[in-house]
Amino acid sequence: MARKFRDIFKSNPYEKRIKDIDPDEIFLDSQNLPKFDVNQFEGRLEKPIPQSTFAIFGIACFLIFIVFFFRSFDLQIVNGKIYFQRSQNNMLDDTVLFANRGVISDRNGTPLAWNVTSSSTDDQAFSLRKYIDLPGLAHVLGYVKYPSKDSSGFYYKEDFSGEAGVEKYYNDTLSGTNGMKIVEVDAAGKLQSESVAEPPVDGQNLTLSIDSKLQNEMYNTISSLAQSVGFTGGAGVIMNVNTGEVLAMTSYPEYNSQILTDGTDTAAINQYLTNKNNPFLNRITDGLYTPGSIVKPYMSMAALTENIIDPNKKILSTGSISIPNPYNPSIPSVFNDWRPQGWIDMEQAIAVSSDVYFYEVGGGYQDQKGLGINLIKKYMNMFGLGEDLPNGFFSGETGTVPDPAWKAVNFNGQAWNIGDTYHTSIGQYGFQVTPIQMVRAVASIANNGKLMDPSILLGGNPNDFIQLNLNPANFQIVRDGMHLGTQTGGVAVGLDVDYLSLAAKTGTAELGTQKQFVNSWVTGFFPYDNPKYAFAVIMEKGPESNDLGGVYVMRQVLDWMHVNEPQYLQ
């Protein structure tokens, strides 16, 4: 084959220029393929670019040009002025100047909540809130939440917010008004100049009516008794009967205002949230308790005002009364006294807390006329029981004075009966009150019928009260009965002290299906001859077998006052 090709070109004048070509240089097979390095694009066949590609590319470029043209027209012509002003403003930055929150002090000038400059490394722009390290004040003071900023350092929440207590109710007064600083920066963000456009206005200071040391003593006494005996909680309040100033009000258990304000101790906060005894509950205003016998002074006022009984008339208490059972005459309904009292008049009935006496004047028995449930409810409401308070700081739970309408709603339409009236007459059944209601009510006994508006601020509200148009002589009878209760044989004899004459009424409300728990109350006022302060103490849900309760707490507090702050007892 090779020879034949040479013969063909033998006579060609250009034969010397043509190199012999072997067949294996023409026909490629798997043996003679060149070893291209495809990773370096060797052996790649090139193809010409189609004309359609140029057309598509050109159209795309044209569309992009149109978009940019109209966008530029919008930025430069249509909205040019707006964007120019915005660009100018971008050179100016306003920074909030935080106002200092007002300082909270007690009646003696002791700071309870104040501000400190932060020494943290992030250059905190506002002062931090600090609270006195004194237990018993949390529910009065409350706590705050700080201003908040985002990850870029901009404050999206520029105000302190009070979350409870005085911090919440007087938040607007304490907050003040933030100011503003204008800062000029260049394109690189460097500070060029700054000026204060609006200076901050600090919040106003508040002086509370409370005595923080007295309040701390009351809290510690309640706390100690609750932990040693087994009460689930407790609360106490002392109020000026003439001005409404609250000298002390504390609730156990409580939270720590500093911990909640700082918000960093998550373990402690979780303990508050999971505590079954609810440290967030302000028991003074929102704790609802069956009052028991502490309602008997107001039952007496109702009976005297309605001429139900002469205060000198004596009723025999042999330990119980019985009435026919309409459903089973062979089994009469028996209503027990807590002990046989013998023949007693109204003052004695208050002093020894006779249940039989108040069964009869409340619901009637044999020849003794009773008030009836409607009049009972009327007078209980008149003294503020089952009614919300007018002062917003002390507003809370309303409570309940049971009546036929209440029973129908809560007991599937059941009718009211005489036994319900008897139980309501001694503060049982569905009766529920708050400690602030009770101290306000007992203060009105002390001051001849002025139902004061309580105040947490120094000076109080001496002109803010509801005058109960009731006979002053009747108030004196009730006061005498309460004073007799602190003498030998009285239920409040534990408050019989040689340094002070006072009046008091106790109450023990039975709880639980087996009546195995009790609320232990004491209410009263002092000094007896010239009343100045009223008090109410509740120890919550303790064992029935325990003998210590509200009277014990108040005795310890009075003893402390006698030694440390005797001016309150004069």
User: What's the confidence (pLDDT) of residue 16?
Assistant: 46
User: What's the confidence (pLDDT) of residue 450?
Assistant: 97
Please state the rounded mean pLDDT for residues 17-43: 50
User: What's the confidence (pLDDT) of residue 21?
Assistant: 54
| Average pLDDT of the chain to the nearest whole number | 88
User: What's the confidence (pLDDT) of residue 446?
Assistant: 98
Query: In this predicted model, what pLDDT tens digit does every residue of 276-297 receive, in sequence order?
Result: 999 999 999 999 999 999 999 9
Structure tokens at 18: 């043509």
Please choose, from the candidates 265, 254, 271, the residue with its C-alpha nearest in 3D space to the C-alpha of residue 138. Answer: 254
5 burial type by CB count under 10 A (0-12 exposed, 13-18 middle, 19+ buried): middle
Please choose, from the candidates 237, 152, 150, the residue with its C-alpha nearest in 3D space to the C-alpha of residue 536. Answer: 237
User: What's the confidence (pLDDT) of residue 159?
Assistant: 85
CB contact at 8 A, 494 and 555: yes
CA pair distance 278, 282, nearest whole angstrom: 9
- Per-residue confidence band for 192, with pLDDT thresholds at 50, 70 and 90: low
User: What's the confidence (pLDDT) of residue 542?
Assistant: 92
Structure tokens at 79: 């909205």
The percent helix, strand, coil of the chain (3-state, each to 5) is 35, 20, 40
DSSP track, 39-73: GGTTTPPP-PPPHHHHHHHHHHHHHHHHHHHHHHH
Q: What is the H or E stretch that residue 168 is in?
A: helix 165-169
User: What's the confidence (pLDDT) of residue 97?
Assistant: 86
User: What's the confidence (pLDDT) of residue 510?
Assistant: 83
Domains, the chain, ordered by start: 93-207 (3.90.1310.10), 227-551 (3.40.710.10)
List Cα–Cα distances, 200 to 35, 113, 149, 536, in angstroms.
84, 20, 19, 43
- Per-residue confidence band for 125, with pLDDT thresholds at 50, 70 and 90: confident
pLDDT(38) > 70: no
User: What's the confidence (pLDDT) of residue 335?
Assistant: 94
CA pair distance 308, 301, nearest whole angstrom: 10
pLDDT(18) > 60: no
User: What's the confidence (pLDDT) of residue 5?
Assistant: 43
Structure tokens at 71: 């966008």
Q: Which of 184-198, 379-393, 405-419, 449-463 has the lowest mean pLDDT?
A: 184-198
Query: In this predicted model, what pLDDT tens digit does every residue of 418-451 receive, in sequence order?
Result: 999 999 999 999 999 999 999 999 999 999 999 9
User: What's the confidence (pLDDT) of residue 57?
Assistant: 77
CA pair distance 259, 23, nearest whole angstrom: 97
Strands 148-149 and 179-185: unpaired
User: What's the confidence (pLDDT) of residue 106?
Assistant: 98
User: What's the confidence (pLDDT) of residue 1?
Assistant: 46
- Per-residue confidence band for 322, with pLDDT thresholds at 50, 70 and 90: very high
pLDDT(54) > 90: no
Q: Which of 116-125, 358-367, 388-397, 457-466 has the lowest mean pLDDT?
A: 116-125
Could you tell me what percent of the chain has a pLDDT over 70?
Answer: 84
- Per-residue confidence band for 151, with pLDDT thresholds at 50, 70 and 90: confident
* Higher pLDDT, residue 453 or 194: 453
CA pair distance 550, 50, nearest whole angstrom: 102
User: What's the confidence (pLDDT) of residue 39?
Assistant: 45
Residues of 259-268 as b/e, b for ≥16 C-beta within 10 angstroms? bbbbeeeeee
Sign of CA pseudo-dihedral 185, 189, 190, 195 = positive
User: What's the confidence (pLDDT) of residue 51?
Assistant: 74
Query: In this predicted model, what pLDDT tens digit does every residue of 222-274 receive, in sequence order?
Result: 999 999 999 999 999 999 999 999 999 999 999 999 999 999 999 999 999 99
CB contact at 8 A, 290 and 459: no
Place of tokens 């967030």: 280
Place of tokens 């030694």: 563
Question: How many C-beta neighbours within 10 Å does residue 203 have?
Answer: 21
Query: In this predicted model, what pLDDT tens digit does every residue of 67-93 receive, in sequence order?
Result: 777 777 776 676 666 656 555 555 666
CB contact at 8 A, 198 and 179: yes
User: What's the confidence (pLDDT) of residue 85?
Assistant: 59
- Per-residue confidence band for 506, with pLDDT thresholds at 50, 70 and 90: very high
CA pair distance 152, 463, nearest whole angstrom: 53
Question: How many C-beta neighbours within 10 Å does residue 365 have?
Answer: 19
In sequence order, the 6+-apart residues with CB closer than 8 A to the CB of 459 are: 209, 243, 245
